[in-house]
Structure formats: structure tokens, C-alpha cells
Structure 1
Amino acid sequence: MATVFRWLLRLAGSLVVLIVAAIAMVYYLASQSLPDYDDTVAVEGLSAPVEIVRDNANVPHVFGESDADVFFGLGYAHAQDRLWQMVTMRRVVQGRLSEVFGTRTVETDKLMRRLDLYRLASESVENQDPGTLSALEAYAAGVNARLAEINDRALGRGAPEMFLFRFPVAPWQPADSIAMVKLMALTLSGHLSNEVLRARTALMLDDPERLRDIMPDTPGNGTAALPEFASLFPDLPRYAANTAVDYGPLSPFPKEGLAGASNAWSAAPSRSASGGTLLANDPHLGFTAPSYWYLARIELETGGVIGGTIPGIPAVLVGRTARLGWGLTSSYLDDQDLYIEKLNPENPEQYLTPSGYKRFETRPSIIQIANEAPITLTLRWTENGPVLPPTHYNLGTVTPPGHVMALAWTALDPDDTTLSAAMGVMRSGSVEEAIAAAEGYIAPSQNLSLADQETIAMKTIGWAPRRDARSRSQGRLPSEGWRAENRWLGRAPYAANPEFVSPRGGIIGNTNNKTVERPFPNHISFLWGDTQRIHRWERLMQSRQVHTRDSFVEAQLDTISFTARSLLPLIGADLWFTGEAAPEGTPERQRQIALSLLAEWNGEMNEHMPEPLIYAAWLRALQDRLIHDELGQLAEEFDHVQPIFIERVYRDIDGASAWCNVVQSAPTETCTDMARMALDDALVWIGDTYGTNLETLRWGDAHQATHDHPILGDLPLLRYFVNVRQSTSGGDNTLQRGLTSGSGPDPFQNVHGAGYRGVYDFADPDSSVFIISTGQSGHPLSRHYDDLAQLWRRGEYIPMSLDADLARAAAVGITHLEPR
């Protein structure tokens, strides 16, 4: 027995040694790709030495003797920290993910090939201005210099993921950077999915008047520039089954309601306590680890530029110079239309046009799949755009037999000069110059917020399609592609895009809200990204005569829900403090406790409070009860609460209270009945998920920010090392926006929000601040992988300074690139 025990002990000891050795080997191999920031490297492609000073937050400050050398340094820095992110995003836009990840990404590849964004990007290279073309070539050379260094010095293939997914990395090309811009446009696009959902909902509803309830037009005349402060205070006191496919990891196709968003606001000197202009911006994208954003400073011949970049793109997309600050918000300009194309019944290779039948433009495309046989697609294009598969956003459910669906989209322009325009804005010295430089911006359409030393402005940039006034669908639904009146008539003039410069009120802002009211076809959009945050923003901006950097920060971090404060009194009007006290442990008692908590709540979506969770679960259950009997399974597509819909129902606008009656039941339910039953539903769900003690609930337990690695984040052990999860405040409709997933077992996970925040004060530019949601590095073993994440969660920022000495004073390393 003793002998057996000794052998078991030896085997166990050996197993432990082997496990430790295996972990040590994995760590050693993975750590080889950690960049050495304190190094001197001889590289090809430089005309003079470049210095990359990394401050204590690992923000690179790139210095060189020419702009080309500086962009070389930026490309090198991006590749040091985010190589895996860059090469996988390039594969997304090329439609080549399946070569690495196999069958789970085939559907993404198929659709990306049909959109043909990479070919269009390649054709756009020659349309860039000389300065941008030079920057693209220099940036690509910098990325490739890092690739060469990885190969020459055996630096662990450049990223630990490369050991798990081994594939050759092609040299970076100028077209790759333009393709990244087009990929961003795809990620921010939401009109296509909304057109399909509107069509499906219209088919399902028996009463067509009810469509304006569940998918209402945005009310109001639009808000951008606020009025003068004094004027506000004169007294001084038919449904088909879901056929959509699962695109798998790295999908760039946003769910309905999860396209682009953002906040930006600015104050003129007259509304600034310091006497200088102020600008705040927080662009919203889906959360991922690492963040899409990467902080950087580059020193150009026109001066220093600092702010947020996206690895793969050689431009500071949001940020400031010493003279100018700029920010971006999604404009929601309607730049996509779906066209139903009629096939020739005698020849399916032809489709109907206003002048008769015409052959599709076709081209074969081969998709290589890891460990599987390749597949060949036939790409088809019409005069309106590429033909899309019926499974994309359930297009097949609204496509008649004998027809196909094609997409018109501004980002499909092969003469795309968006990157040149972005570079022009970055090099501008004034608001006027920046607005002029942005004329070449094609897609994605954005609201460009600007502030120089004296002037504030906001300009909608991007190509606005010019539509015929006779358009049958007005761009809101798929329309017949063979009717001339439905087709685009070219591009609307840039001067017609909304523009607000130096308003008398001294405040300009945008929360993706409606900015102007114009009749079709001169409108901007029928679909806007926000109807709620704008009310809270107006209150914060107009509640004080002058603003400071800190008041702008306070507004960015504000978690008061206007939506909760306006809807709760409506839906609970007949429930507050009614009925006798119920016994402990009964559903009635739980309902009374919940109503008592909500009655004393100010609408703050604080992570430590129970009320936000009760409110969110109640509204979600209420909307589901209101629409499920009319929409059936289609109700699952409306997985985020529609505040205007709830308000229309409970105010009975145009008969909208009809939604409260359950069509299939014999009794006639009232809206009070629905509110009570929905609250009971919500409390049962909360009890099953988080426990029955309502006072101890925490919104943050449900509202976890999901900065997940898109590939490794689902693996059982690695997920704990690569995912960054955080309890967060905010919600769908707060200025500190944390958009919830809306579906699945964790419907309130925070999946979409401000990956970048910046506030710029031109009275003291170096007091400006910024932050990103994870860290600068994409390497899970780096201390800079998530070192900014806790600052971001707590609402803290780091300095945004162009002072080179300050960057050097606490540098984590200085990289010297020398010409070989």
C-alpha cells in the first residue's frame, strides 16, 4: 500500500510539474510578442530618425523630421500594440475570415464579398490627395517595418493569438486603411435593417395606423443650437419566420438599434467661465477588448495633433490641435436604400430597369475555408448596387417571388475621398477651414462638431443622396428598382447639409437627435438615433449661464434618465399607493415594495441602486405584453424599449391605447391592467435571476460592460484573462449611455457606449482630457491591456497635453526608429 501511495504521489508531482512547465512555456511564447518600448530599431522606409515617446498611460507621442516619417511612426506604434486587431479587421473587410476561423465565419465572408468593399477601397486609393496618399504609403511602411522586425527578431509572431491561429500576414497596403474607413461605415449603418423591419411590421399589423405607434416619426422641429440663455428664464424664478443567419464572431453587421451613436457639445466664449471655447465628444461603438479606439499624438508640420485613432487608419479622427478641436456623432443621414429588382422570367440573368431588361454585372469569388473545401460565389450587381442574400436581416421575408434585393449605399462609391477629408480636418487651423476640408467626406455620414479659439460649429458631413420627390417609399421601405422615380438622382450639394455656426445662444450639441425639420426630399432622415438623451442635455446646458471643462465632464457622465422620469408617472398612474398592505412574501407585497422604491427614485441609473433594474425590467416586460399578441415572433425584433411608443400608448395618442387590449383574449384589458401584469412579470424574472430581496438589488450586477475579446472571449479558461467586465451606471437613454443587449439570458448587459471620451478647453488647451474604455495594448499579458478600464468606469480621465517635456517626464519607454 505504501508503494502504491508513493507512486501516486510521484505521478501527481510529475503531473503538477508538467502543468507548470506547460504554463511557463505558453507564457514564454506569448510574452515574446510584448513590445519593448525602450528600444532602438533600424528600419527601412525612413528618411530620418523617428522618436516614439510613450507617456505613463502608454499614449505614443510621435516625433519626426517630416510628416511622412511621423505617419511611419504611427503605423509602427499601431502595429506594436494592435497588430492582431488590425489584421483581423482587414480580413473582415476582405471577406477572408474563413481561411483562419473555418465555417463559423463563412456567412460574414459571403456578405462582405457581395458588398465588395475591399475592391472599392483599392479603386479609391488613386483618388486621394497627394498629402493623404503620402501619409497612407508612409503609414503602411511603418506597419510593415514592425512586421519585418517581428520576423527578423522572432518576436512571438507579433501577438499571442497568432500562435492559436497561424496564418501568413500580408504586408499592409494603402488600400487597407481606406477599407478600414468603409468597415467603420458599415458598422455605423442602420437604415437597411430599419427598412426591412418597417416592411415586416407593416405586413404584420392588421391596422396600418398602428405602424406609426411602434415605429413613430421623431417628433419636434429638431435641436442643435440652443437659444440664448436669458430667453429661457424671462421671469428668472403578416409575419414570416425568422430567416436571418448567425454571422458569428467579428461580424460587422449591427443589430437593429445597435448602429452608431454618440454625444458632442460645444460652448462659445460667451458661455464659458474661462473665456475660451469648450468641446466635449464621446463616440459610441460596440464594446470589445481591446477598444476600437487608440490614443495617440503626432507632431506634424502644421503642429501637434492628439486624440483618438482607430488602428489601421493614419488619422486622428477625434481630438484637437493647439488651435482646433473636433468631434464626431452619427448623423443618421439616410444614405441607404433597398431596391426590389424584378427578374426576367425568361432569363434570370437579367433584371428590369426603367429602359428594359439588363444583365447583372457578375463576377465569381472563391472563399477558402480552413479544413473545408472552398466555395464559389457569383457576385451580382445591378445599377442600384449589389444583390444581397435573402437571409441578411430577413430580406427574404419582404422580397416577392421572382425578385431579388439590391442595396444602394454611399459607401459603395469607388471614388471615395473620405480619408482625405478626415486628414484635411485634422490639418485645419480653424472652424472655417475644417468645414471646407470635410466636403470630400463620403461615408459614414457624421455630425462634425468643431471649436477653434473663438468659434463653435456643427456641420453634417457625408454624401447625402438626392431623391426624386415622386419616390414611392421616400427611402423608408424597399422600393421597385425599375421605377425611375425611386432611383437616386446623384448627390445633394454639400452646402445643403445642415450647418450651425456661432449661434447667438452660444451652445451647440448633438445626441444623435433630430437636428432639422425638412420636408421630403430635402429631409436628412426619417430615422434618428435619439429622442430621449437630448432632453436631459438641454436641461444640463441651460441650467447654468457659463460652463467649464468640469461641467462638460459632468454632462458626459450624467446618469439621470429623462425616460424613466417621464414614463413612470404615466404607466404607474393608477398603481401608486393603492390597495391594502399585502402579507410578506406574496406577489402583491413585492409589487408594493417595488412601487414604493420607484416612487421615491429620481431616475438616476446608478450601478449601486435597485430601482434602475426594477424600472428596466418593468418597461421591458410591459412592451413585450403590449406588442406580442399583434406581432407574434416579430416582437422579439423590438428588443429595446421604444419610449415614444410607450408614451403614445399611455397618452392614447391617435388611439394608440388599442395596444393594451389583448386581441386573442375575451376580456378587454386596460392599460392599467397591462402595467400591473407587466410589473408582476418583471418581479418574477428578477426573483428568479437576482433574488427576491428588492432592496439589495444592484443595477450594476445586470448592467455589466462587456469588453470581450471577439475570438477568445468565449473560451472557458481564456475568457477570464482576455475579457474586461465592469459594473457600470447609465442605461439606454442616459447621457452616459450604456446600451443594453436587449436579448438573451442577460438582456441588460452593457454592450455599446462611449469607448472614447474627450473634453477640450481652448482657454487652457493642455488642461484638456481624454480616456478610452480598456487600454492601449491589445496584448492580454501587457499591463496596458486594461489599465485605463477602471479609470473609464469611475468616470476619470487622463491629460491630453501636447507638451513634449511632460510626455517624457514619466515615459514608460522611448522607441528610436533609425533609417537602415
Structure 2
Amino acid sequence: MLTLFRWMVRLTVGLMVVGIVLVLLAWYFAIRSLPDYNGSYEVAGIAQPVEIVRTTEDVPHIFGQSDHDVFFALGLAHAQDRLFQMTVLRRAAQGRLSEIYGAGAFASDDLARRLGLYRNAVASVAAQDPATKEALEAYAAGVNAWIEQVNLGARGRGAPEFFLYPDDISYWEPADSLAILKLLAATSTVQLRREVMRARLSLTEPKRGQELLAAPYEPAIPTYASLFPGAKLMPPERALPPYDWVTGLAGFMAPASGASANGWAASSARTAGAGALLANDPQFALTAPGLWYLARLELQSGGVIGGTIPGIPAILSGRNGAMAWGLTPAQIDDQDLFIEEVQPGEASRYRGDAGWTDFATRNEVIRVKDQKDQVITLRDTANGPVIPGGHFGIASILPPGHVAALSWTGGQVGDTTMSALVGLMHAKTRSEAAATLQGVVAPALTYTLADRDGIGQTLAGAIPKRPATHATLGRMPTPGWDLANRWQGTEPAPAELTDLNPEKGIVATTGAGPVIAHGHPLGYDGIDDRRLSRLNLLIDSREVHSRDSFIAAQNDMVSPLARDLLPLIAADLWYSGEPAAPGTPERQRQDALSLLANWDGSMNEYLPEPLIYSAWMRQLQDRLIRDDLGPMADDFTHLYPDFIERVFRDVNGASAWCDIRQSTATVTCPTIARQALDQAIFDLTARFGPDVRSWRWGDVHRARHVHPALGDLRGLSYVVNLIQPTSGDDSTVARASMRGTGPNPWMNVTGAAYRGVYDLADPDSSVFVISTGQSGHPLSRHYDDMAELWRRGEYVGMSLDPALARAAAVGVTRLEPAPR
């Protein structure tokens, strides 16, 4: 027995030692991939020495003797800090995530192949201007130089994620950068998803269904069944797994997930200094690391500083010595879904405008980790690629014997968007910038511009040319064989959408619709424009602005939606007689209404009112639509405020949504509002206790910056994911959109992952910040060192002064030309 005991002790000690050794080895190999910011490297591909000076926050300031060498160094710096992110973004665009993630990423790969993101990127390389081609080639050479350094120096494979997701890192190509830009374009638009939703609504509730999505300025459209006689709502296709937020972000960006931003500027006549002000905050999914990366480039035309996306050699939002710019995704209807009839008995042909026509087909192989390779057949029609029914619920609206094809501006070859973005960095005036931006194809963007003489805005991007006879104006799928619905090509954004001399001295956009050209909207699915109204209110509330007033506006957390809806919905509920007995549901309702009656609409993380309001609105919308839509109500995970306002104002009889079909008694809107409030309070009580005054918005509205590869791995998720309480909601200027599903539907999953305020009166007082940190390495102190600043609405300086950069340097990387 004593011998057995001794052996057990030895075995236990041995296992502990082995465990410690394994942990130490994992730690050693992980930290090997941390770059030495004070390193000196001999690299092939540059003509003169280059310095990368990194400030306290790890922002690289790149100094070289030529633009070629500067772009080379940017590629190297991106790879030093974000190599795993860059390779994953490239894989997402190529449709090759399954090779490292397994079957869970197959749906993403399948869609990327169908959209032809990488194929079209390769075909667009030749369309770039000479300067952009050189920038792309130099950037790719810089990325590859760091990959070579990783291999030569055994630097932990370049990122710790590669130990869990083995990947043979291929060298970077210019087309890879264009492909990431294509992925960005596919992510920014939601039109395909909205068209399918409209068709499903039409089939489920033909009479009033469109009221859910209709904008106030939107004309009526025919029912889906009238376009396709006999069509009926079909069960969803399960060939592909249902969309999941985290799985969808396996590539950092997910097509059709949507993007937004605020962009506004004030001329010197409206500012405290002798120069213009500009603010910009692009809003995408929150990931760790974030999508954005701060950088400064010293080009031959002068210094430029701002926000980049790793993989793309351009400052997308920022400033140079003469002007500043900010981007906002424009709510343009840039996608149309066409329903194509397949020839009976001949699946290789479809109905064209002149008879049965062969699909253009080709096979591609998707390699899936630990499983057999999957061969997919890609089919194209005259209207674009065929999108299988498993994506976006398309199968539920397809008549038997039909498929769906997509027309999309981002599907064009010869896309010169990259040339426009690279050229923008060299522009010295608003007019130069606007002319350069006419090369943008996709995504469609509203660029806010400011220079020493003034401010302006311009819409940039390809606009579909739809015939006036189009059956649905692009808002719902139409028959693909009918020429009356088919695009007649695309055209640049109309000149009337460029205003470089606004009379008010102020311009502002939030991506809210409608964008009007030639008297007609260019899209009908703009984000609720109350956010724009709130921004305009903040701007117009003072005659003279400063950098600090722009910062305050950028972080404004007052919900204009709450201010609009609560007086309308609670009009008959505010007064409820004598106080009810403490501890009763009636008293809880009275306390909740008392709080809301005195609330200013501030979605502050420390208050209970935002939580009560948000839970109430969720319950209210669900009660309004579930009786009519049935299970389809589950798809409406976010609030549709125009619909709720239309119901409670009884616009065109919309109050009929308040009545319950299954009930013999007539249910009024005040009654359903009270029932929804009671249910919301009941649910919140189960989670947070009976004292409504102790509830806090920040307890549920927490920003989850998820790591796409490691974020769901038990144990590691606590290290790589960043979770922090946040203020705001979908309608605040400081937009903090919620997931809408799952155990915590209030989880903040999208937001302004980059914020910048550019002051041309005192350029070096300009500021910017990103949502996480510069490094993508979870063990780096720069992985999350800006996260708390971002949460609190604080910033770091963005100076073009070389002396300032060197004074605050935490490291200087020197690149020397390798001997030939």
C-alpha cells in the first residue's frame, strides 16, 4: 500500500510538472510571435532605409524616401501586428475559411465563391492606375518581407492563433487587398436580405405585411404572389446551417451584415478656430482585434494619418496636411434579386428574355478541415450569379422550379475603388478629392470633406440603372426573364449629390435615407433617420463649434427614438390612480412609468430607464406582429420604429395590428402596450430582482468584442474576448447596436470601432481612437490598451509632427535594403 501511495504521489507530481512544462512551452512559443518594435531588419524590396516609429499607443509613423518604400513598410507593420487577421480576411474573401475552421465556416465560403469576391478582385488589378498598382505591389512585398522574417527567425509562426489553426501562409498578392475591399463592400449592404424579407412578408401577410419595413416616403409595391402566381411561403432550407452572429464573423466581416457611420463637418465660419472641423466614426461589427488600425504615412505629397483596415494600403478616414475626409456607407439599393425559371427536365438551362438559355457553369472545390472536400457548382445568368436557397432564407420564397440570381454593383470587374482611395490621400482640396472619389464603385460611400477653404460632401459609387418599368423598384425579387426589370448597367453617382459649398457651413450624414437623385430615392432601406435628426439638433444648437463640441456630439447617448415613442405609446398609461401596494406587479408598473416619465432619453449604462424602455419596446413589437406573422416574427430581432409609430398613430388603419385575431374581444393599442410593459417587467424581475430602480442598462448592454477564431473556445475566450458595459443603442449618435437574439438580446455587437475628429485650425490637436488596440496578439499590452478609452469616449492625439512621434516612441523599427 505504501508503495502504491508513493507511485501515486510520483505520478501526480509528474503530471503537474508535465502540465507546467507544457504551459511554459505554450507561453514561450506564443510570445515568440510578439514583434520587436526596436528591431532592425535587412529586407529586399526597398531602395532606401525606412523607419517605423511607434508611439505610446503603438501607432506606427512611417518615414521613407519614396511612396513605394512607405507602402512597403505599411504592409510590414500591418503584418507585424495583425498577420492572423489579414490572412483570415483574405480567406474570407477567397472562400477558404473552412480549411482552417472546419465545416462551421462552409456557408461563408460557399457565399464568397458564389459572389465571386476574389475572382472579381483578380480581374480588377489591371484596372488600377499606375500609382495604385505600385502601392499594391509595394504593400504586398512588405507583408511578404515580414512573413519571411517570421520563417527565418522562428517567430512563433507570426501569431499564436496559427498554433491552433495551422495554416500554410501564402505570400500576399495585390489581388488580396482588392479582395478585402470587395468583402467590405459585400458587408456594407443589406439589400439582398431585405428583399427576401419583403417577399416573405408579402406571402405571410399580403394585406399589411409591407407596413413593417415601409419607409414613410415609400410608394406601394405589388404583392409577391402577383409577380409569381402560385408562390407560397416554403419551409427554410436546411442544407446550410442557420446564420449565427459569431460564426458569421469567422472572417471578421460577414456579407450582408450591414455598416453605418456618422460624418459631419463645420466650416471655419462655424468654428472657434480659423479652420474647419470634421468628425467620422465608421460602425461595423465589434471584434477583437477590431477591424481598424491607426497609421501615419509620410508620402512624397506630405504626411497622412488616420484609420486603415489591415490588408488595404490606404487611409480610409483621416487627414493630410491640407484636408480631412471621413466615410459613411450610403444607403443605396445596390443589389437586386431575380427569380429565374429553370427549364423543366433540363436543370442546365433557364428562361432568358429570348428563350431557354444555358447557365454559365463551373465547378470549384472547397476544402474542409477534417472532412472530405466539397465540390460546388457555380452558375451564372444574365442577371448575375445564382445564390442557393440556403442563404438568407431564399428557399422560402422560391416558386418550384426556380432559382435566384443576384445583380450587385460590387460584382463588377474593373473596379477602380482602390485607386480612388489611394488617390484620396494625395488630394489637397475638396474638389480634387471629389474628382478622385468618382472612381469608387462599391461600396457606395458618402464622403465628408474639409480643407482650409471650406467643407462639403460627395456621394461616390456605382448606381444601378433600373428601367422606369421595374415592377418593384428593386425592393422585392422580380422575374429575371422580364427585360422591364433588368438593369441597364450602372452609372456614377449623379453630380447633384456633390455639394462642396453648403450654405449653412455645416454638412452631416448618418447613412440614413433617402438619398435623392433626379427627384427619385436611390434606396428605400435607410437606417432610421432619427439619428440624423438628433445629430442635426446637436449641430444647430450652437452657432460656433470646437473640437470638444464635436467630441461631445460623437459620444451623445440620448435616444431620439425613445423621446418620440414613449409619449405616443404611454399616452394612456402615465396616470394610474393611487399608488398600488408595495411589492405588487401594479406598483412595479407604476414605478417603471414614473421613471420613464421623468427620463430624458439618455441611454446611460448606469440608469434603469434604458433597460425598461428597451425591454418594453421589444415585447410590444413582438405582440403586435406575432399574431399576424406567426413563427416569422422570430426574424424581427430589432426594433422597426416607423412601424410602431404608424400603428399607434393609426396611419391608414395600421392600429389593426393591435387587435388579436385569436381573441373574440377587441384589443386596443393602449391595452397591448400595458400588457407588453407588464411582461417586460416580469421578465426583468426574474433576472434582476423586484426593485426596478436597481436595474442597470449596462448590466445587459455590454459590448462584446469577440475574437473570431478563439472567442468561443472555453478558457481562451476569457483571455481574447473583451466585454465591457456601454451606453447608447441603435438610434443614438454614439450608435451601439444590439444582437437582438440569444439569452442576452441587448448585447452590444456593433459600434464605432473607429472614431476620429480632425481640427484643421490646429491639425495636431486632432484625435482618434479604435475599439481595442493596435496589436492582434492577445499577449501584447497593445491588444486592448485603447478599449477603455474607447468605452469612456476618450481619444489619443493624431499628430503629423515627426518630433512628437519620436518623443513618445516606444520603439523604432529600422528597415535596411538587403544587399543585392
Give the TM interval when normalised to the shorter protein: over 0.9
Structure 1 Cα separation of the partners of residues 209 and 622 of structure 2: 16
Partner of 1:231: none
Q: 1:286 to 1:119 in 2, by over 3 A?
A: same
What amino acid is aligned across from residue 676 of structure 1 in structure 2? R
Structure 2 Cα separation of the partners of residues 49 and 62 of structure 1: 11
Q: 1:252 to 1:350 in 2, by over 3 A?
A: farther
What amino acid is aligned across from residue 364 of structure 1 in structure 2? N
Partner of 1:311: 310
What amino acid is aligned across from residue 682 of structure 1 in structure 2? A
Structure 1 Cα separation of the partners of residues 518 and 433 of structure 2: 28
Partner of 1:327: 326
Partner of 2:633: 635
Partner of 1:794: 792
Structure 2 Cα separation of the partners of residues 620 and 26 of structure 1: 46
Q: Secondary structure at the match of 1:712?
A: coil
> What is the deviation of 1:275?
2.7
Q: Secondary structure at the match of 1:69?
A: helix
Q: 1:696 to 1:6 in 2, by over 3 A?
A: farther
Please, which of 227, 238, 242 is the counterpart of residue 246 of structure 1? 242
> What is the deviation of 1:614?
0.5
> What is the deviation of 1:665?
1.1
Partner of 2:715: 717
Q: 1:517 to 1:139 in 2, by over 3 A?
A: closer
Structure 1 Cα separation of the partners of residues 281 and 201 of structure 2: 33
Q: 1:64 to 1:206 in 2, by over 3 A?
A: closer
Partner of 2:227: none
1:486-536 per-position Cα deviation (integer Å, ceiling 9, x unaligned): 11112234434622222111110001122544578x431111123221121
Q: Secondary structure at the match of 1:456?
A: strand
Partner of 1:618: 616
Structure 1 residue 349 corresponds to structure 2 residue 348: yes
Q: Secondary structure at the match of 1:625?
A: helix
Partner of 1:234: none
Q: Secondary structure at the match of 2:751?
A: strand
Partner of 1:423: 422
Q: 1:517 to 1:249 in 2, by over 3 A?
A: closer
Structure 2 Cα separation of the partners of residues 730 and 150 of structure 1: 42
Q: Secondary structure at the match of 2:51?
A: strand
> What is the deviation of 1:38?
0.2
Contact preservation (8 Å) 1:188, 1:254 = no
Please, which of 644, 649, 665 is the counterpart of residue 647 of structure 2? 649
Q: Secondary structure at the match of 1:82?
A: helix
Structure 1 Cα separation of the partners of residues 462 and 507 of structure 2: 22
What amino acid is aligned across from residue 36 of structure 2 in structure 1? D
Structure 2 Cα separation of the partners of residues 564 and 275 of structure 1: 37
> What is the deviation of 1:714?
0.8
Structure 2 Cα separation of the partners of residues 486 and 789 of structure 1: 48
Q: 1:497 to 1:204 in 2, by over 3 A?
A: farther
What amino acid is aligned across from residue 404 of structure 1 in structure 2? V
Q: Secondary structure at the match of 2:324?
A: strand
Structure 1 residue 105 corresponds to structure 2 residue 105: yes
Q: 1:363 to 1:212 in 2, by over 3 A?
A: closer
> What is the deviation of 1:218?
4.1
> What is the deviation of 1:104?
1.2
What amino acid is aligned across from residue 124 of structure 1 in structure 2? S
Structure 2 Cα separation of the partners of residues 269 and 220 of structure 1: 37
> What is the 5 A alignment of 1:584-733?
584-733=582-731
Partner of 1:18: 18
Partner of 2:170: 170
Structure 2 Cα separation of the partners of residues 652 and 253 of structure 1: 42
Partner of 1:435: 434
> What is the deviation of 1:97?
1.3
Q: 1:303 to 1:446 in 2, by over 3 A?
A: same
Structure 2 Cα separation of the partners of residues 476 and 515 of structure 1: 14
Structure 2 Cα separation of the partners of residues 338 and 394 of structure 1: 13
Partner of 1:753: 751
Higher mean alpha-carbon deviation, 267-276 vs 123-132, is at: 267-276
1:309-355 per-position Cα deviation (integer Å, ceiling 9, x unaligned): 00000001110001111101111111100011111225321112222
Q: Secondary structure at the match of 2:373?
A: strand
Q: Secondary structure at the match of 2:403?
A: strand
Q: Secondary structure at the match of 1:678?
A: helix
What amino acid is aligned across from residue 481 of structure 2 in structure 1? W
> What is the deviation of 1:95?
0.9
What amino acid is aligned across from residue 113 of structure 1 in structure 2? R
> What is the 5 A alignment of 1:152-191?
152-191=152-191
Q: 1:600 to 1:548 in 2, by over 3 A?
A: same
1:555-574 per-position Cα deviation (integer Å, ceiling 9, x unaligned): 00000011111111111111
Partner of 2:553: 555
Q: Secondary structure at the match of 2:347?
A: strand
Contact preservation (8 Å) 2:308, 2:316 = yes
Contact preservation (8 Å) 2:150, 2:156 = yes
1:81-116 per-position Cα deviation (integer Å, ceiling 9, x unaligned): 000000011111111111112211112111211111
> What is the deviation of 1:690?
2.5
Structure 2 Cα separation of the partners of residues 174 and 254 of structure 1: 20
Contact preservation (8 Å) 1:102, 1:371 = yes
Partner of 1:225: none
Contact preservation (8 Å) 1:186, 1:252 = no
Q: 1:741 to 1:239 in 2, by over 3 A?
A: same
TM-score relative to the length of structure 2: 0.95
Structure 2 Cα separation of the partners of residues 678 and 519 of structure 1: 44
> What is the deviation of 1:211?
3.3
Partner of 2:223: none
Q: 1:116 to 1:98 in 2, by over 3 A?
A: same
> What is the deviation of 1:242?
3.6
Contact preservation (8 Å) 2:261, 2:281 = yes
Structure 1 Cα separation of the partners of residues 343 and 639 of structure 2: 43
Partner of 1:394: 393
Structure 2 Cα separation of the partners of residues 709 and 249 of structure 1: 12
What amino acid is aligned across from residue 491 of structure 1 in structure 2? T
Please, which of 527, 530, 546 is the counterpart of residue 528 of structure 2? 530
Structure 1 Cα separation of the partners of residues 692 and 253 of structure 2: 34
What amino acid is aligned across from residue 816 of structure 1 in structure 2? R
Q: Secondary structure at the match of 1:753?
A: strand
> What is the deviation of 1:600?
1.3
Please, which of 792, 805, 808 is the counterpart of residue 807 of structure 1? 805
Higher mean alpha-carbon deviation, 394-403 vs 721-730, is at: 394-403
Higher mean alpha-carbon deviation, 571-580 vs 164-173, is at: 571-580
Q: Secondary structure at the match of 1:194?
A: helix
> What is the 5 A alignment of 1:134-153?
134-153=134-153
TM-score relative to the length of structure 1: 0.95
For structure 2, list consecutive stretches of 5 or more residues without a partner in the other structure.
220-231
1:44-103 per-position Cα deviation (integer Å, ceiling 9, x unaligned): 111111110001110000111100000000000000000000001111111111111221
Contact preservation (8 Å) 1:352, 1:482 = yes
Structure 1 Cα separation of the partners of residues 297 and 751 of structure 2: 26
Higher mean alpha-carbon deviation, 132-141 vs 108-117, is at: 108-117
For structure 1, list consecutive stretches of 5 or more residues without a partner in the other structure.
222-237
Q: Secondary structure at the match of 2:488?
A: strand
> What is the 5 A alignment of 1:265-344?
265-344=264-343
Q: Secondary structure at the match of 2:291?
A: coil
Q: Secondary structure at the match of 1:464?
A: strand
Q: 1:19 to 1:251 in 2, by over 3 A?
A: closer
Contact preservation (8 Å) 2:132, 2:422 = yes
Q: 1:127 to 1:65 in 2, by over 3 A?
A: same
Partner of 1:125: 125
Structure 2 Cα separation of the partners of residues 220 and 298 of structure 1: 45
Structure 1 residue 476 corresponds to structure 2 residue 475: yes
What amino acid is aligned across from residue 726 of structure 1 in structure 2? Q
Structure 2 Cα separation of the partners of residues 160 and 382 of structure 1: 43
Q: Secondary structure at the match of 1:47?
A: coil
Structure 2 Cα separation of the partners of residues 8 and 598 of structure 1: 64
Q: Secondary structure at the match of 1:537?
A: helix
Contact preservation (8 Å) 2:470, 2:484 = yes
Contact preservation (8 Å) 2:252, 2:287 = no
Contact preservation (8 Å) 1:279, 1:761 = yes
Partner of 1:74: 74
Number of aligned residue pairs: give it: 801
Contact preservation (8 Å) 1:193, 1:256 = no
> What is the deviation of 1:255?
8.5
Contact preservation (8 Å) 1:461, 1:497 = no
Structure 1 residue 501 corresponds to structure 2 residue 495: no
Partner of 1:230: none
Q: Secondary structure at the match of 1:818?
A: strand
